[in-house]
Structure formats: C-alpha cells, structure tokens
C-alpha cells in the first residue's frame, strides 16, 4: 500500500487554489486536475460507481461486505480538493523534518521565517515525529489535501483487506470549499449516505459538531474627488470615510482578540481611492442571537454614516453564508460518540470543541446529511507557516477505519 505520507506529497504538488471572483463551478479548472486523478486512483483500487460530474464533485461507493440482511447506516467521508487563495499554492516545495527535536524550525533562512516554539507553543508535542512544513514561499495545502490523502489511504486499505467488516461506504471530494461554495450543487440524494464525516479539522484529536453562523458584508463608500489644492469644504475622501466606518466596529470583537465561542468582525479586504472605496468583512458567531446582533450593528453603522455624510454615501451588501450545524447534528449524537470511541481505539484523546470557522459539513447538515468534522492534523492553515505531522495523518486514517468498524459491529 502507498502510505498516506506519499499520497499527501503527490496531491499537494497539484495547484488547486479556488477563486472567489470566478462565477464558474468549479471556480478554477485546475481543481479538476486533482479530482480527475482521484477518480483514476479510485477506479484502479477497484472502487465502484466512481464519477466526476460537471461541477467538480467526485463520488464513489464501496458496497457492504456484511452478512446479507444486516443493515447499518451508509457512512460518507468527505474532503475538499481546493486550497485557499489567501497564499500561493503553486510550486509547493515541502520540507520534511524527521525525528523533530522539539525546537524551532527554520523554514526559510533568507526570509528569516521560523516556526518558533514561542509563537507556536503546540510544536513540542510532536517531538520525535516527522513534520512537513512549507519552504516559506507558499502554503502547504494540508487544508484539505491531508483529508483527501487520509480518506484515500483508508479506501485503499478497505480494498486490499476485503475481510475488514464494513457497511456501505460513500466517498466524496468537493471543490471550492475555501470560498464558501463547496456544496452549492452537491446532490445529497445521489451521494446516498445516511451520515457523513468531513476530514477537514485541525490538529490531532479535534472533533467538531458546532461551527460559526457566518455572513459576509461588503461596504461601498462613495466619495467626492476635488483637486487637493482647492478641496476645502468640498472633498469627501472615501478612504478616510472607510477608515472611520471600520473604527465604529468593536475592537475587542476582532479575530485577534477572540477565542472559543466568541464571535468577531474580520476585515478581509480594503480597496480604495478618494472617489470610491470598498471594505469587506466576514461576520461570525456561534450564538444565533449574537450573530443577528452583529449583522444589525453593521447595518446601524451604515445608517449612522449616511446621516452624517448624506444618503447614499454608504451602501451595504450583507449575505448569510452558513449556519451552526449543532442543531442538525445533536439529534443524531451517536455519530459524534462513534468518532470519540474511534479516536480512543487509535489512542487519540478526542478534543470536542466548536469550529472557529466552517466546513462543507455545516451546510451538508442543513441539507439533510448530518456531518461532524474530524481532524485532518494540520496547523496554521492558509499561510506560509502551515505544517502537519505525518503521524497525525496516519491516525486520522486509522480513525476513519475505526468508525467504519464500530458501525459494522452494531
């Protein structure tokens, strides 16, 4: 069998960054390079009903090998092929640190980029393990090619060990998760699972069935450009107004000051000239009332600024993105309990916590497919300081097999 480590290195070599400005599905054709490869590999393993549709979804099935008449839930395992457009994702040059000594890791000497224990205090827990890092020029792609590799490794094990007991297994790989469109056209009925798990979490042990309620906000500011030599009492500088607007939002509710169940306003983009400006936010909160309050606050700030500077100076485009899946998963809490038990079997301590983000599973849960999130094993996703321990990937793949085994034993 090919190791999950080798699969991961092959998959991250393929550039699959999604594009939030694209209107196509998938948003970038290059995602299909990996999706097509996964279809080829699944077929070579002997997996049945493998397909890649026009929207970039890979689906496959493994029939039950349990005694005829024994019914178990149809289990799905899902990961996304795209990487975040936040950092470069092409020409990834991974560094392999074997038998990690527990200290700082220099990832790029020329740029003075260091994975330091001071900044990343979780590092020493991986002493003695094999760590994969970036070279400081790109992201790594563990989000979520680690999840892809872990599922593919588990599938290969099932196909090579036909006596391993399992019910019907469904495999799914999605595009465009990183830009919030991962399941826009996902056909839950065609997928055919009763319950599913995304392999898209962070460090080893993470298990999540709660996530943020999420919205996006774009604020458009109309200024008035006048020659600066003659601008007194005439110029309206959209850049200055945008800065003033941002200052109205609570500082303590920025991501860098929040944790746990605390929500935030996060400014992610600013484009501006004197004449026009645009600022973009993501709004997040686990508590639905607080989420609604945050949306109300940003609307009130728009009203206030328009009263101050004139109607039409500020315009708001506010859109809900996804909601907290807890309400959809809790009635089927056995899927969380099975994951906890599966981790215990793999000598992994489950860390059940809310996702400070979102996954395809959040929206799938609201589409009728309860779908908690299991760790993929990586750290510092979306950036040049991303890294993943190989042993965490191996444990994630083991957890998948344990979940399958537990349901087959019922």
User: Model pTM?
Assistant: 0.88
Q: What does the pLDDT read at residue 409?
A: 93
My answer on whether 285 and 153 are in the same domain is no
My answer on whether 57 and 196 are in the same domain is yes
Among 305, 322, 339, the domain-final residue is 322
> How many distinct structural domains can be found in the chain?
2
Quick check: helix, strand or coil at residue 317?
strand
Residue 307: CATH number of its domain: 3.30.70.360
Q: What does the pLDDT read at residue 342?
A: 98
My answer on whether 239 and 350 are in the same domain is no
256 is catalytic: no
Those residues whose C-beta lies under 8 Å from the C-beta of residue 73, and which sit 6 or more positions away, are 167, 194, 195, 407
Those residues whose C-beta lies under 8 Å from the C-beta of residue 272, and which sit 6 or more positions away, are 221, 238, 239, 242, 278, 279
My answer on whether 234 and 147 are in the same domain is no
What tokens appear for 269 in the block?
């983009």
Element holding 321 (H helix, E strand): strand 314-322
Q: What does the pLDDT read at residue 410?
A: 85
What tokens appear for 238 in the block?
């959209």
Q: Which of 15, 144, 177, 360 is catalytic?
A: 177
Q: What does the pLDDT read at residue 102?
A: 97
My answer on whether 168 and 74 are in the same domain is yes
Quick check: helix, strand or coil at residue 23?
coil
My answer on whether 373 and 387 are in the same domain is yes
386 is catalytic: no
Q: How many CA atoms lie within 13 A of 393 on its CB side?
A: 29
What tokens appear for 16 in the block?
């699959």
Q: What does the pLDDT read at residue 201?
A: 86
Q: Which of 82, 150, 156, 206 is catalytic?
A: 82
Q: How many CB atoms lie within 10 A of CB 232?
A: 8
Those residues whose C-beta lies under 8 Å from the C-beta of residue 51, and which sit 6 or more positions away, are 39, 58, 59, 60
Q: What does the pLDDT read at residue 359?
A: 80
Q: What does the pLDDT read at residue 146?
A: 98
My answer on whether 108 and 183 are in the same domain is yes
Among 264, 295, 322, the domain-final residue is 322
Residue 290's Cβ-count burial label (10 Å; 0-12, 13-18, 19+) is middle
Among 274, 291, 322, the domain-final residue is 322
Q: Confirm if 164 and 157 have CB atoms less than 8 A apart.
A: yes
Q: How far apart are CA 320 and CA 312, in angstroms?
A: 23
Q: How far apart are CA 315 and CA 280, in angstroms?
A: 12
My answer on whether 23 and 120 are in the same domain is yes
My answer on whether 309 and 350 are in the same domain is no
My answer on whether 124 and 16 are in the same domain is yes
What tokens appear for 338 in the block?
């099975």
User: What is the full per-residue pLDDT of the chain (410 aa) written as tens digits?
Assistant: 899 999 999 999 999 999 999 999 999 999 999 999 999 999 999 998 999 999 999 999 999 999 988 999 999 999 999 999 989 999 999 999 999 999 999 999 999 999 999 999 999 999 999 999 999 999 999 999 999 999 999 999 999 999 999 999 999 999 999 998 999 999 999 999 999 999 998 999 999 999 999 999 999 999 999 999 999 999 999 999 999 999 999 999 999 999 999 999 999 999 999 999 999 999 999 999 999 999 999 999 999 999 999 999 999 999 998 899 999 999 999 999 999 999 999 999 999 989 887 788 989 999 999 999 999 999 999 999 999 999 999 999 999 999 999 999 98
Range of the domain at 242: 213-322
My answer on whether 111 and 196 are in the same domain is yes
Residue 62: CATH number of its domain: 3.40.630.10
My answer on whether 190 and 244 are in the same domain is no
């Amino acid at each position: 069998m090919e190791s999950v480590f080798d699969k991961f290195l092959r998959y991250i070599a393929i550039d699959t960054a999604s594009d939030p400005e694209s209107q196509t599905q998938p948003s970038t054709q290059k995602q299909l390079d990996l999706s097509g490869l996964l279809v080829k590999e699944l077929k070579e393993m002997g997996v049945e009903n493998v397909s890649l549709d026009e929207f970039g979804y890979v689906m496959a099935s493994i029939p039950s090998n349990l005694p005829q008449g024994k019914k178990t839930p149809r289990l799905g395992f899902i990961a996304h092929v795209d990487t975040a457009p936040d950092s470069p994702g092409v020409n990834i040059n991974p560094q392999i640190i074997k038998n990690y000594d527990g200290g700082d890791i220099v990832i790029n000497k020329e740029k003075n980029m260091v994975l330091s224990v001071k900044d990343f205090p979780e590092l020493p827990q991986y002493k003695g393990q094999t760590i994969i890092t970036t070279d400081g020029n790109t992201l790594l792609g563990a989000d979520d090619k680690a999840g892809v590799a872990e599922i593919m490794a588990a599938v290969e094990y099932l196909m090579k060990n036909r006596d391993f007991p399992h019910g019907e297994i469904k495999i799914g790989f999605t595009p465009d998760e990183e830009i919030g469109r991962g399941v826009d056209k996902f056909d839950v009925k065609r997928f055919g699972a009763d319950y599913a798990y995304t392999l898209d979490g962070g460090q080893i042990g993470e298990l999540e069935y709660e996530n943020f309620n999420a919205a996006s906000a774009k604020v458009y500011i109309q200024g008035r450009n006048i020659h600066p030599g003659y601008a007194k009492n005439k110029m309206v500088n959209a850049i200055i107004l945008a800065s003033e607007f941002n200052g109205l939002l609570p500082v303590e509710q920025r991501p860098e000051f929040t944790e746990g169940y605390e929500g935030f306003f996060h400014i992610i983009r600013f484009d501006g000239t004197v004449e026009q400006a645009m600022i973009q936010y993501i709004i997040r909160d686990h508590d639905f009332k607080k989420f609604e309050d945050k949306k109300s606050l940003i609307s009130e700030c728009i009203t206030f600024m328009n009263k101050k500077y004139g109607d039409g100076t500020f315009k708001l485009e506010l859109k809900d993105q996804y909601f907290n899946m807890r309400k959809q998963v809790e009635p089927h809490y056995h899927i969380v309990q099975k994951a906890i038990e599966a981790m215990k079997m793999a000598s992994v301590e489950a860390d059940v916590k809310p996702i400070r983000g979102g996954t395809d599973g959040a929206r799938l849960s609201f589409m009728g497919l309860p779908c908690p999130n299991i760790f993929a094993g990586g750290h510092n996703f979306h950036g040049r300081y991303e890294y993943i321990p190989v042993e965490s990937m191996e444990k994630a793949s083991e957890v998948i097999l344990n979940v399958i085994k537990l349901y087959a034993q019922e």
